[in-house]
């Protein structure tokens, strides 16, 4: 689980870097979306035809800028949304500061996609009693649920479940293992 | 031993060495010397005047150092030597004469001096003789006067003594009379006193009897008190001894007792224990049940598990406390 | 004078009479710290006795497990009597034994009959003598029965060796977790799997008659409470409300369950009538309220709540009454399990970073930590109140350990494959 979270984080960084690096040659990248029609036109003429169209170039230039910004934002949001696991301190359900932006992105995504549902899985570390940890996992899931609703998601999109200490992300009783087990996972269906 | 010493004395000293012989010889020697001395100091030999002697001494030459040289091989030398010897002889003769003169003068001077001293001693002796005679006469007179006075005094003393004795006799007679009278009076008084004493003694005896009775009572009370104190002391001693063994028994039983799980702090089992003087258990009786069979059994089992109870050696203490006693099992604090 | 004498005489009389009356009394208020020594002599066998663990071995193991007894190894016995005439009390006394159990087994057809006698070594008395028969296939039940009788004869408390345990094991099968709900004898033997799932199974709870288990299963993807009839294997989904459905606890009459539900957004304790399936709220607080358990009266309940900031044990005289906080000893005390006498409540207690089982004396408030192990969970009290089973960690595996209720000798149950958790001690069955 942790490994996959790290992989996702790495992928996010890669994606952001890619966007940053390609911003100067944004048009080329934009082709994939905007220029699908053009590409069809240029099927025979090649890229040069597309490139030689001055007017189209000017008007599309301003359009491309807006599009580019929006797409950039969307990509950043998507990248943020790759983070789906949120960690907690022992015996608390308080959402950490660094998780807020990510959760906001998830909330906005849910708001933007009313048909999308998400399952919040709350977990606790192995310390303490199983039933209390079950309630504690639920409390964490509920905390995340409230945050998502406040930031635009609707109640109907969200389902919560607590597994307590039953499904640890990492086996073992070390402090670091237990820190990774005190978590809420967002599972989109 | 003494005899032996004497024998030794007799044989050890030769007769000529005896003190008598020695004394005789010494005296003879003294007489001889004295006679010779007397002839030397004969007053007939007039000592030359002292002035001549002085004149003669002045030219006397110093003795020659070569006097002893006798043999002279040379004839001239012999002659010269003869002349020299004759001169020397002459000078020596003169010196001898001067010397003799000088000795004679001195002898005369000494004789004169001795005569003078003899005369003086004689005069002194005569004077002393005279003083002695005078003294004797004086003393004799004094003694006679004294004797006279004494005689007179003695006569007077005898007269006074006779008078004194007479007075004394009179006084004694009077005293005896007074004494007789006094004794008569005393006898009378004594008789009276005796009567009073008898009365007093009787009274005292009665009082003493009372006092004695009181004293005896007090002593009896004191004794009783002492006995009670001793009993208490013994009691205390036995008690402290017993406490020691109580603690031992308590410890042993605590180790031997397994309170059952069903035990509660309000359960009490009371057992009466009878011991033999050996410390062995003679009998045990459950005199108070806890109401819980397992609890009662645990107590009985504990009591029976001790093969020998720790008990005091002293029989009195044993009999008093440990012959028969009660044990109460009551868990104060369960695990 | 006469008065004084009278006084002395009176004093003496008082003294004498006082000493005559004061027979020595010794009061014993403390007992031995150690376990009670008992010799369980191997039973003589007549006829074809089924192979497997010997009856006397099972009895020894039961008595040792209680923590209250210490059995003499047969190798140290001077003789192996099987009836009274063969028992030489002096020998057993010399061996330091307080009790000796002798007996024999005889086979007739499909039955094995045990004839056994228990003697008090010091009193040289028989305190128990019985004949008991069981099917030849059920020798373990016969042995546990004898253990119960011996235990009761000596302690005055009903034995709990014939009761059952329920617990959950977790291992891995085909790369997936495998949760199995099992039921076994108290010594962990004769375990039978009742439910197997890839999803977690939690909180098994025995019905008072010992016929059913209630538990939480995640088999539907979320915690749901099931009832499970052991004889038939019939299962009923009894609570499947939105959110949590957990921590079931039976009432004494078996007609209702206490449970934790979060259907209204927050974990609260409810009472469900099993007939009507109607639930009523027992607690109502924004904090987590869970892990309820009826007290010995059957009217009040203990539960865990973090209303003070961290989990602590609370007690309510009746459902809905003002809760009273029981634990104050540390900042984490949870999952209360009261005894059957109202004397103690047992729970998980955190101290210096470790989790132990502790108990609080309900009369004095005094708290005692009972375990020395580090990650202790799920205490469950034996129905006679004398033993306690809990789960603890041994390396990465979880094992079950039995201790006497006062924290005495610990006895680890033989580990089954994988980790064992969530033990629940079954009721005494008549």
Domains of chain C: 36-155 (3.40.50.10070), 164-425 (2.120.10.30)
DSSP A96: P
C29 Cβ under 8 Å from any chain B Cβ:
yes
354-413 of C, contacting B, C-beta below 8 A: 386, 406, 408
Q: Using pLDDT thresholds of 50, 70 and 90, give the confidence band for residue B19.
A: low
Q: Using pLDDT thresholds of 50, 70 and 90, give the confidence band for residue A74.
A: confident
Shortest CA distance to A142 belongs to which of C334, C304, A150? Answer: A150
pLDDT tens, residue by residue, C158-190: 999 999 999 999 998 899 999 999 999 999 899
**B82-B83-B88 Cα angle (round to 5):** 95
pLDDT tens, residue by residue, C295-317: 999 999 999 999 999 999 999 99
Residue C397 is predicted with a pLDDT of: 80
ipTM value, please give it: 0.87
Which residues does chain B have within 8 Å of residue C5's beta carbon, measured at their own beta carbons? 221, 224
Which residues does chain C have within 8 Å of residue B214's beta carbon, measured at their own beta carbons? 1
C22 Cβ under 8 Å from any chain B Cβ:
no
How much is the average pLDDT of C208-228?
96
Whether C235 has a pLDDT exceeding 90, the answer reads yes
| Nearest C-alpha in B relative to C37 | B258
pLDDT tens, residue by residue, B305-335: 998 999 888 888 888 888 999 999 999 866 5
User: Using the beta-carbon criterion (under 8 Å), do C260 and A127 form an inter-chain contact?
Assistant: no
User: Using the beta-carbon criterion (under 8 Å), do C202 and A131 form an inter-chain contact?
Assistant: yes
Whether A46 has a pLDDT exceeding 80, the answer reads no
User: Using the beta-carbon criterion (under 8 Å), do C311 and A139 form an inter-chain contact?
Assistant: no
How much is the average pLDDT of C4-22?
51
Name the β-bridge partners of C380. C389
Residue B334 is predicted with a pLDDT of: 64
Residue C32 is predicted with a pLDDT of: 86
Whether C3 has a pLDDT exceeding 60, the answer reads no
Q: In what order do the strands lie in the sheet with C324-325?
A: C289-294, C301-305, C312-316, C324-325
Residue B235 is predicted with a pLDDT of: 79
Going from the N-terminus, what domains does chain A have, and what CATH number goes with each? 5-79 (no CATH), 84-188 (3.30.1330.60)
pLDDT tens, residue by residue, C413-426: 766 666 899 999 99
Q: How far is it, in rounded angstroms, from Cα C79 to Cα C97?
A: 13
User: Using the beta-carbon criterion (under 8 Å), do C24 and B325 form an inter-chain contact?
Assistant: yes
Q: Using pLDDT thresholds of 50, 70 and 90, give the confidence band for residue A53.
A: very low
Residue B25 is predicted with a pLDDT of: 66
Residue C186 is predicted with a pLDDT of: 92
Q: How far is it, in rounded angstroms, from Cα C380 to Cα A95?
A: 35
User: Using the beta-carbon criterion (under 8 Å), do A91 and C246 form an inter-chain contact?
Assistant: no
Q: Give the number of C-alpha atoms closer than 13 A to the C-alpha of residue C27, restricted to the C-beta side.
A: 6
Which position has the token pair 């597309």?
Answer: A50
Angle between helix A54-81 and A2-22 (nearest 10) = 160
Give the minimum alpha-carbon distance from A78 to chain C in angstroms, rounded to a whole number.
Answer: 28
Answer yes or no: are the C-beta atoms of A134 and C244 closer than 8 Å: yes
| DSSP line for C255-317 | SEEEEEE-TTSS-EEEEEETTT--EEES---SS-EEEEEE-TTSSSEEEEE-TTSS-EEEEES
Residue of C30, C65, C68, C100 to mutate when probing chain B, most B C-beta within 10 A: C30
Task: Locate C381 and state its tokens.
Answer: 């009290």
User: Using the beta-carbon criterion (under 8 Å), do C243 and A173 form an inter-chain contact?
Assistant: no
Whether C226 has a pLDDT exceeding 60, the answer reads yes
C349 Cβ under 8 Å from any chain A Cβ:
no
Give the minimum alpha-carbon distance from C36 to chain A in angstroms, rounded to a whole number.
Answer: 34
Q: How far is it, in rounded angstroms, from Cα B215 to Cα B231?
A: 24
CA-to-CA dists, residue A141 to A160, A180, A189, C155, C266, angstroms: 6, 15, 17, 51, 11
Of C222, C348, C393, the CB nearest to A129: C348
Residue A63 is predicted with a pLDDT of: 56
User: Using the beta-carbon criterion (under 8 Å), do C290 and A138 form an inter-chain contact?
Assistant: no
Residue A24 is predicted with a pLDDT of: 38
User: Using the beta-carbon criterion (under 8 Å), do C262 and A135 form an inter-chain contact?
Assistant: yes
Residue B34 is predicted with a pLDDT of: 57
Q: Using pLDDT thresholds of 50, 70 and 90, give the confidence band for residue C406.
A: confident
pLDDT tens, residue by residue, B90-118: 888 888 888 888 888 899 889 999 999 99
Residue B234 is predicted with a pLDDT of: 81
CB atoms within 10 A of CB C15: 14
DSSP B49: P
The DSSP element (H or E) to which A14 belongs, if any, is helix A2-22
Answer yes or no: are the C-beta atoms of C336 and C304 closer than 8 Å: yes
Q: How far is it, in rounded angstroms, from Cα C26 to Cα C32?
A: 17
Q: Tell me the average pLDDT of chain C.
A: 91
Neighbors of chain B by Cβ distance (3+ pairs < 8 Å)? C
Whether A175 has a pLDDT exceeding 50, the answer reads yes
Name the β-bridge partners of C369. C358
Whether A116 has a pLDDT exceeding 60, the answer reads yes
How much is the average pLDDT of C369-381?
91
Whether B137 has a pLDDT exceeding 80, the answer reads yes
C309 Cβ under 8 Å from any chain A Cβ:
no
pLDDT tens, residue by residue, C107-117: 988 999 999 99
Q: Using pLDDT thresholds of 50, 70 and 90, give the confidence band for residue C393.
A: confident
Share of chain A above pLDDT 90, in %: 51
Residue C273 is predicted with a pLDDT of: 97
Residue C132 is predicted with a pLDDT of: 95
Contacts of C388 (CB under 8 A, 6+ apart): C346, C357, C370, C379, C380, C381, C382, C402, C403, C404, C405
Alpha helical stretches, state H, C371-430: none
User: Using the beta-carbon criterion (under 8 Å), do A131 and C291 form an inter-chain contact?
Assistant: yes
SS3 C102: strand
CA-to-CA dists, residue C75 to A120, C41, C68, C78, C119, angstroms: 62, 10, 21, 8, 20
pLDDT tens, residue by residue, A126-148: 999 999 999 999 999 999 999 99
How much is the average pLDDT of C7-16?
51
Whether A37 has a pLDDT exceeding 80, the answer reads no
Q: Using pLDDT thresholds of 50, 70 and 90, give the confidence band for residue C2.
A: low
Whether B3 has a pLDDT exceeding 70, the answer reads no
Residue C52 is predicted with a pLDDT of: 85
Contacts of B195 (CB under 8 A, 6+ apart): none
Give the minimum alpha-carbon distance from A187 to chain C in angstroms, rounded to a whole number.
Answer: 13
């Amino acid at each position: 689980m942790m490994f996959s979270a790290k992989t996702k984080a790495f992928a996010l960084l890669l994606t952001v870097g890619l966007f940053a690096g390609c911003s100067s040659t944004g048009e080329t990248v934009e082709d994939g979306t905007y220029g699908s029609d053009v590409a069809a036109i240029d099927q025979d003429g090649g890229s040069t035809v597309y490139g030689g169209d001055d007017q189209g170039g000017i008007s599309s230039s301003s359009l491309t800028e807006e599009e580019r910004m929006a797409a950039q934002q969307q990509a950043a949001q998507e990248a943020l949304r790759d983070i789906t696991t949120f960690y907690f301190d022992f015996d608390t359900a308080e959402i950490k500061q660094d998780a807020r932006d990510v959760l906001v992105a998830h909330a906005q995504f849910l708001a933007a996609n009313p048909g999308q549902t998400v399952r919040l899985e709350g977990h606790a570390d192995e310390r303490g009693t199983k039933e209390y940890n079950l309630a504690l996992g639920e409390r964490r899931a509920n905390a995340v649920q409230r945050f998502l609703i406040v930031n635009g998601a609707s109640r109907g999109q969200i389902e919560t479940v607590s597994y307590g200490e039953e499904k640890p992300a990492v086996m073992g009783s070390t402090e670091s293992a237990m820190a990774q087990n005190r978590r809420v996972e967002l599972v989109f269906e | 031993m003494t005899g032996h010493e004497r024998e030794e004395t007799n044989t050890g000293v030769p007769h000529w060495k005896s003190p008598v012989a020695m004394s005789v010889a010494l005296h003879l020697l003294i007489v001889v010397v004295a006679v010779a001395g007397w002839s030397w100091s004969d007053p007939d030999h007039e000592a030359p005047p002292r002035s001549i002697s002085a004149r003669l001494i002045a030219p006397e030459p110093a003795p020659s150092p070569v006097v002893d040289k006798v043999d002279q091989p040379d004839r001239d030398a012999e002659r010269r030597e003869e002349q020299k010897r004759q001169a020397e002889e002459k000078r020596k003769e003169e010196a001898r004469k001067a010397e003799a003169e000088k000795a004679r003068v001195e002898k005369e001077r000494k004789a004169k001096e001795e005569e003078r001293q003899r005369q003086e001693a004689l005069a002194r002796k005569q004077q002393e003789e005279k003083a002695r005679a005078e003294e004797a006469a004086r003393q004799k007179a004094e003694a006679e006067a004294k004797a006279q006075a004494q005689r007179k005094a003695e006569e007077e003393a005898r007269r006074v003594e006779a008078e004194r004795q007479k007075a004394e006799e009179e006084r004694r007679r009077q005293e005896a009379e007074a004494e007789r009278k006094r004794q008569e009076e005393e006898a009378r008084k004594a008789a009276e006193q005796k009567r009073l004493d008898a009365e007093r003694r009787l009274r005292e005896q009665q009082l003493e009897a009372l006092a004695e009775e009181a004293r005896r009572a007090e002593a009896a009370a004191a004794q009783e008190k002492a006995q009670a104190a001793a009993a208490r002391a013994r009691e205390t001693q036995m008690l402290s001894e017993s406490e020691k063994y109580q603690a031992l028994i308590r410890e042993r039983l605590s180790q031997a007792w397994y309170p059952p799980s069903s035990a509660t702090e309000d359960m009490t089992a009371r057992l009466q224990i009878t011991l033999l003087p050996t410390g062995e258990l003679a009998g045990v009786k459950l005199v108070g049940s806890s109401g819980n069979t397992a609890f009662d059994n645990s107590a009985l089992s504990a009591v029976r598990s001790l093969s020998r109870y720790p008990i005091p050696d002293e029989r009195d203490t044993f009999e008093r406390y440990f012959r028969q006693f009660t044990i109460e099992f009551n868990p104060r604090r369960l695990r | 004078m006469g008065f004084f004498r009278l006084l002395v005489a009176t004093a003496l009389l008082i003294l004498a009479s006082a000493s005559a009356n004061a027979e020595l009394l010794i009061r014993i208020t403390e007992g031995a710290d150690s376990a009670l020594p008992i010799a369980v002599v191997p039973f003589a066998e007549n006829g074809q006795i089924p192979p497997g663990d010997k009856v006397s071995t099972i009895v020894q193991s039961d008595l040792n497990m209680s923590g209250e007894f210490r059995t003499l190894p047969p190798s140290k016995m001077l003789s192996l009597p099987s009836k009274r005439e063969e028992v030489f009390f002096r020998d057993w006394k010399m061996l330091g034994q307080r009790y000796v159990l002798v007996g024999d087994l005889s086979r007739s057809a499909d039955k094995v009959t045990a004839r056994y006698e228990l003697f008090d070594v010091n009193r040289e008395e028989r305190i128990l003598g019985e004949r008991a028969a069981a099917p030849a296939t059920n020798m373990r039940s016969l042995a546990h029965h004898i253990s119960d009788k011996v235990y009761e004869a000596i302690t005055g408390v009903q034995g709990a060796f014939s009761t059952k345990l329920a617990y959950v094991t977790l291992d891995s099968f085909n790369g997936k977790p495998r949760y199995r709900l099992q039921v076994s004898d108290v010594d962990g033997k004769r375990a039978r799997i009742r439910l197997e799932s890839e999803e977690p199974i939690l909180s098994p709870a025995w019905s008072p008659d010992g016929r059913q288990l209630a538990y939480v299963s995640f088999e539907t993807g979320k915690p749901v409470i099931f009832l499970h009839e052991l004889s038939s294997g019939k299962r009923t989904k009894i609570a499947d409300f939105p959110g949590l459905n957990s921590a079931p606890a039976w009432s004494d009459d078996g007609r209702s369950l206490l449970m934790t539900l979060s259907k209204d957004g927050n974990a609260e304790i409810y009472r469900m009538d099993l007939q009507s399936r109607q639930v009523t709220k027992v607690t109502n607080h924004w904090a987590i309220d869970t892990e309820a358990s009826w007290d010995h009266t059957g009217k009040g309940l203990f539960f865990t709540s973090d209303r003070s900031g961290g989990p602590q044990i609370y007690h309510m005289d009746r459902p809905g009454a003002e809760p009273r906080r029981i634990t104050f000893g540390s900042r984490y005390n949870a999952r209360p399990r009261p005894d059957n006498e109202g004397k103690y409540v047992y729970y998980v207690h955190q101290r210096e970073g470790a989790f132990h089982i502790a108990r609080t004396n309900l009369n004095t408030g005094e708290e005692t930590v009972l375990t020395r192990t580090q990650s202790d969970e799920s205490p469950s009290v034996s129905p006679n109140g004398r033993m306690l089973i809990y789960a603890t960690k041994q390396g990465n595996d979880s094992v079950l350990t039995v201790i006497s209720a006062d924290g005495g000798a610990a006895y680890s149950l033989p580990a089954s494959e994988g980790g064992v958790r969530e033990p629940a001690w079954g009721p005494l069955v008549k």
